[in-house]
Chain A
Amino acid sequence: MEATQKQDKTTTKPKAETKEMSGAEMVIEALIEQGVDTIFGYPGGAVLPIYDALFQQDKIKHVLVRQEGGALHAAEGYARSTGKVGCALVTSGPGATNAVTGLADALLDSIPLVCITGQVPTFLIGTDAFQEADTIGITRPCTKHNFLVKDQNDLASAMHESFHIARSGRPGPVVIDIPKDIQFAQGKYVSKDEAIMHSHYKPETDPDMKAIEEAVELMANAKCPVFYTGGGIINAGEEASTLLRELVRETGFPITSTLMGLGCYPAKDKQWLGMLGMHGTFEANWAMHDCDVMICIGARFDDRVTGMTSKFSPDSKKIHVDIDASSINKNINIDIPIVADAKKTMEAMLNVWRAKKYKADQKALKSWWDRIEIWRAKNCLAYKMDDKIIKPQYALERLAHYMEQDKRECYVTTEVGQHQMWAAQFLPFNEPNRFMTSGGLGTMGYGLPAAIGVQMAHPDAFVVDVAGEASIQMNIQELATAIQYRLPVKVFILNNEWMGMVRQWQELLHGERYSETYSEALPDFVKLVEAYGGVGLRATCVDELDDVIEEMMNNDRLTVVDVMVAKTENCFPMIPSGKAHNEMILSPDASAFDKSLV
């Protein structure tokens, strides 16, 4: 009653006729109203009413995954490649617990998701009922927010509020836990505009103009500036990338980005330094270390980016633009914090830069660029080519070559490990929302389901999951999903028979004791994908590689390419843990690693 009274007070327009429907129908109605066209899920006892409602409509396409974890990653891929909220639907108990990894992944990478979980009926909650789990308790620390709906008349509002929370401010995953009896019960549906937002959740998005002016003045007087950008720019929408390009071009400053920010700035541009961080480029990391003004936009000074924090960019003034106040001063002390939306901030920065007719100190900037060119000349991504054995870097260079020639939009997902870093280093990312990877949580098994989500959103695009033979096996069951929906996803496996990144650390830091990193029994990936109904290809030597990639590119079916690569190739350059940006290592020179740390 109270809720309706409040509503009467706040809504001025004539109230639409309240529609009576079941909880399950409300879920569908709310999804449609929120613009959802695709939902990834797996049915089970506690969500049967919702699946029944799904069956009786044709506006939302449901994608049946093979394990709930896949549904969450697919929703992540869908969300990150479209900028929309990704949606998943899973059952209670094991359905919800399987979803946990995807939720944690989306939380760390700020991916907007709404995950609907079924729950046992309200009268059974707390009785250790069949497939009962404390979903709210379990998912509390790995979601931005979660709801348990105990009254069908609150359900529609909670659905709308979930979407609002997932997409506003710093985006993240929201779980809405719906007991089965609530799905059956008849109640009143409220539309998006009438929904009662209990949380008063309204994150600050407008920048403080005084801070902007201070920041832009600092930029104008900089001698050795650098832009350090991240996934926040992608989350701020496509326009944010356009503004970033304008800002970088008008200032003439060099720019680097985190793994999550790749594509915001075109990799083919001459002001682009490449990715920074543990496996970033020499020039990017040295520029970060030696700069005098750092302009960080939408990145969070993650430990894989900063290296040793006490030695991080010691002589620079730091400007940090982030929509989440808790990201500021968390790891690195900031001189000018700006808590705001990246797009609005860059818009304001450009306005001030233009209004005050600022111009960068050309002489200083020229000598800064001269220094950067010296670092760049190190050609830090160079690797030793082999006539016969395929180097993983070479395989990706060839893939990049074919992707650049392809007329289709190209989307890349990755699993986690060496291949992920090589993909970031060697593949061309010139547009935002084209690179889907598990950056924060580092979830092996992310890439294949994410690629399925991307392909669902972009049926005509070229979508490839760059994988390792270990990671791919973590969610390989999703090959069946790709087959079921005729998705021409490509899986490009760099197969070195090792858990490469772990092996690399064991070699360099653990006295070459290769504990449990060799897979004794690998499946034949070609036969495996054929068993699922897809196409399997294999390249075992350099001569075979181009033909195989070409065949993959021209194929309109699910294709797995097993590229047998050099077994013990390491990923360089590298900042060893506990080292600074200017202590990065270019080659596998064991003496360069501080063994006392082991």
Chain B
Amino acid sequence: MMSKDSTSTKKSKSIYAPTPKLAAEETHILAILVNNEPGVLARIVGFYSGRGYNIESLTVAETNHDEHLSRITIACKGTPAVIDQIKAQLKRLVPVLKVSDLTMEGRYIERELALLKIVCTGDQRADAQRDADAFCARTVDSTPNSFIFEATDTASRIDDFVAIMMPHGLVDVSRTGIAAISKGNRVIGE
């Protein structure tokens, strides 16, 4: 935001060229197939921070144990030009095998798992349970004064679930970040 403001005011203190006006930002979900070697995640995360890009969500796990390949799913925000640059830069990294922009490449399934801890007693418990049921959340732990609900859904539905549980005594949330895969018979990187 700082750089945007400074370009709009005429009396800029900078001797450098003002930052070009930015186009509208959009969130893209990228699926990245990498060699699961030491430091590969640091390489990806370091590239994002080093070039000033933001990661909104990141998940990673080895998905092919025989060939030691990991799949990283990153949700990141930027103008279309920035997203293109991110993809090109990712492909430059030596351990990166494939990069897929799921948002660009057609329909895809997106899921995130969340665990919500609610501290409540008495009558409040029924209210909490009712709203959790409405979101098809499973009750994975229950004590006389607490619940843990597990929900699996899109990130925005999880946001809604968190918001609705807030007044019921929500004290702790753990979210996995987005996992995503394209619909149909298309395979990553094709």
* Chain A interface residues toward B at CB < 8 A: 136-137, 140-141, 144-145, 148, 165, 170, 198-201, 303, 307-310, 324-326, 328-330, 505, 509-510, 577-578, 596-598
Q: List 6 A-B contacts (CB under 8 A).
A: A140-B39, A165-B94, A329-B85, A330-B85, A578-B16, A578-B17
**Which A residues are in CB contact (< 8 Å) with B84?**
329
**Which A residues are in CB contact (< 8 Å) with B10?**
596
B12 located at the interface, meaning its Cβ lies under 8 Å from any Cβ of chain A in the complex: yes
**Which B residues are in CB contact (< 8 Å) with A324?**
88, 92
- Contact (Cβ within 8 A) B15 A326: no
Known: A137-B42, A145-B95, A310-B20. 17 other contacts (CB 8 A): A137-B39, A140-B39, A141-B47, A145-B94, A199-B35, A200-B35, A201-B94, A307-B17, A308-B17, A309-B17, A326-B88, A326-B89, A328-B88, A330-B85, A578-B16, A596-B10, A596-B11
Measured in the bound complex, the distance between the Cα atoms of B84 and A23 in whole Å is 42
B130 located at the interface, meaning its Cβ lies under 8 Å from any Cβ of chain A in the complex: no
**Which A residues are in CB contact (< 8 Å) with B81?**
329
How distant is B20 from chain A, measured CB to nearest CB, in Å?
6
Q: A141-B46, A577-B16 are in contact. Are A136 and B88 (CB under 8 A)?
A: no
How distant is B56 from chain A, measured CB to nearest CB, in Å?
21
How distant is A1 from chain B, measured CB to nearest CB, in Å?
14
Q: Which of A200, A310, A325, A328 interacts with B97 by CB under 8 Å?
A: A200
Interface residues of B in 88-134 (CB under 8 A from A): 88-89, 91-92, 94-95, 97
B38 located at the interface, meaning its Cβ lies under 8 Å from any Cβ of chain A in the complex: yes
B50 located at the interface, meaning its Cβ lies under 8 Å from any Cβ of chain A in the complex: yes
Measured in the bound complex, the distance between the Cα atoms of B137 and A237 in whole Å is 62
B4 located at the interface, meaning its Cβ lies under 8 Å from any Cβ of chain A in the complex: no
Measured in the bound complex, the distance between the Cα atoms of B39 and A145 in whole Å is 11
**Which B residues are in CB contact (< 8 Å) with A510?**
15
The contact size tier of chain B is 20 to 34
Hey, what's the 0/1 contact readout for B1-43 against A, CB within 8 Å counting as 1?
Answer: 0000000001110111110100000000000000101110011
**Which A residues are in CB contact (< 8 Å) with B35?**
198-200
Residue of B nearest to A508 (CB): B15
Residue of A nearest to B16 (CB): A577
**Which A residues are in CB contact (< 8 Å) with B88?**
324-326, 328, 330
How distant is A583 from chain B, measured CB to nearest CB, in Å?
12
Q: A144-B94, A329-B81 are in contact. Are A198 and B42 (CB under 8 A)?
A: no
Measured in the bound complex, the distance between the Cα atoms of B88 and A98 in whole Å is 30
How distant is A169 from chain B, measured CB to nearest CB, in Å?
8
Measured in the bound complex, the distance between the Cα atoms of B50 and A140 in whole Å is 11
**Which B residues are in CB contact (< 8 Å) with A310?**
20
- Contact (Cβ within 8 A) A141 B38: no
Measured in the bound complex, the distance between the Cα atoms of B75 and A221 in whole Å is 44
How distant is B33 from chain A, measured CB to nearest CB, in Å?
10
